[in-house]
Chains A and B, each alone.
Chain A
């Protein structure tokens, strides 16, 4: 009886402990629930069976603007969502901080910039950001169809603010997706993300 009780307790506690752990490359990507700029709720778990990209975003950050002002990030969003990838832009800026967006502001921004992620998640409490320990904008994560985090870090190998550096850079997100879709291991699974700090409320 005691044994069954212990097992039952483990079954109850295990998912809670799991949910509290931050994301780690090579392990299951922690699940979350967040509303997008259209008011739709997204659960990461509903995208099991698909590749998911998480892109931390702050439209006032010069490192983010490097990838948006020339249309490069939008190009990546277009290219990979066309191949079935779920691309979630995540905004963890707290109210009053740089990059914080109301739903309508974000919708206007995406229309103006021709941004085409699957959705832009609004995370003003920083809950999703802290779960993934997102540090910079951009900070990029790739999750495979089995729900395992297979990449975390920089968007590419050129940690600058110069748009001219985008051409010819080694894009780690595209590399991870290309390799994983071909059944290959990801060559560079972790890099130091570069950019502005995420403007959390703490």
Chain B
């Protein structure tokens, strides 16, 4: 394994000679496609799989108090476009005074690719990614590298005849999603069911976030999408309600202006994360009075 340390950044094996997988200190990064063949008008998943050694972790899009999320720049053939990164539901990591949001162990970040009319399938296409990351235990090691995965070309109904021919992996596009991708998609936060309702109240030093699910929820953890709104290291006070749950979230000292919405992911007792967008209402003095009167 060839390793060179330059300016504090570990240049992982394979840089300048893209391959599907990079072994770097404390981490293996692999680029995976699902399905492994493309055809006009379809979409496919690209997975950036990070397998960290025990005790090491990477970060969510809002990393919390320290660390940085992995970054990727896609190298795409003409006619293939990439959507935004889709992040699995994170976990709380860190210490008493510094709390981070991220992933230990095996994690796959997902991106949707779309194949449009400009795509010419007359050569074996490949998708490349310039990836950088910071992997941390009690210390942090940055790394970066170039990844690339070859794709087959599958015939598609209504495609430009002749321009698209079958690649060697073409058959796989009709296969059921692999367990790897099914699991990764299952770890993405879900959209809240339409019957649920989220709302927040701006107290002077905290937000009261209420989630109505229709049943009693005794466990909940909130992950704020935007940094410097919620104080990450403060314990989240959870109150079960007959029809949902209420969380008291200490405000970040860095929050100097009122916010209109509190966005994030809320993980309930079943371990599933839900995307939450809660409009924030200023505390009504009259309402507060009413609550306090028996």
Contact flags (1/0) for B100-115 with A, using CB distance below 8 Å? 1000000000000000
Asked if B141 and A25 make an inter-chain contact with CB atoms under 8 angstroms apart, the answer reads no
A147, CB-defined interface residue at 8 Å: no
B20, CB-defined interface residue at 8 Å: no
Knowing A24-B253, A161-B9, the reply to whether A97 touches B97 (Cβ < 8 A) is no
| Interface of A, helix, strand, loop or mixed by DSSP | loop
A153, CB-defined interface residue at 8 Å: yes
Asked if A202 and B254 make an inter-chain contact with CB atoms under 8 angstroms apart, the answer reads no
Asked if B253 and A25 make an inter-chain contact with CB atoms under 8 angstroms apart, the answer reads yes
Knowing A190-B254, A194-B68, A196-B140, the reply to whether A130 touches B134 (Cβ < 8 A) is no
- Which residue from B7, B8, B95, B142 sits with its C-beta under 8 Å from A197? B95
Asked if A200 and B97 make an inter-chain contact with CB atoms under 8 angstroms apart, the answer reads yes
Contact flags (1/0) for A149-170 with B, using CB distance below 8 Å? 0001100000111110000000
Asked if B227 and A62 make an inter-chain contact with CB atoms under 8 angstroms apart, the answer reads no
A98, CB-defined interface residue at 8 Å: yes
With A and B bound together, what is the CA distance between A54 and B286 in angstroms? Answer: 43
| Interface of B, helix, strand, loop or mixed by DSSP | loop
For A66, list chain B residues within 8 Å (CB): 7-8
For B67, list chain A residues within 8 Å (CB): 196-197
A125, CB-defined interface residue at 8 Å: no
- Which residue from B7, B65, B136, B256 sits with its C-beta under 8 Å from A190? B256
- Which residue from A25, A162, A194 sits with its C-beta under 8 Å from B9? A162
A26, CB-defined interface residue at 8 Å: yes
A57, CB-defined interface residue at 8 Å: no
Q: Which of A1-46 contact B (CB under 8 A)?
A: 22-26
- Which residue from A126, A135, A189 sits with its C-beta under 8 Å from B65? A135
Asked if A197 and B65 make an inter-chain contact with CB atoms under 8 angstroms apart, the answer reads yes
Residues of B within 8 A of A (CB): 7-9, 65-68, 71, 94-98, 100, 132, 134, 136, 138-142, 227-228, 253-254, 256
Known A-B contacts: A135-B98, A189-B256, A196-B67. Give 13 more (CB < 8 A): A22-B253, A24-B253, A25-B253, A60-B139, A62-B140, A136-B65, A161-B9, A161-B134, A190-B228, A196-B66, A196-B136, A197-B94, A197-B98
Residues of A within 8 A of B (CB): 22-26, 60-63, 65-66, 69-70, 97-98, 126, 130, 133, 135-136, 152-153, 159-163, 189-192, 194-200, 202
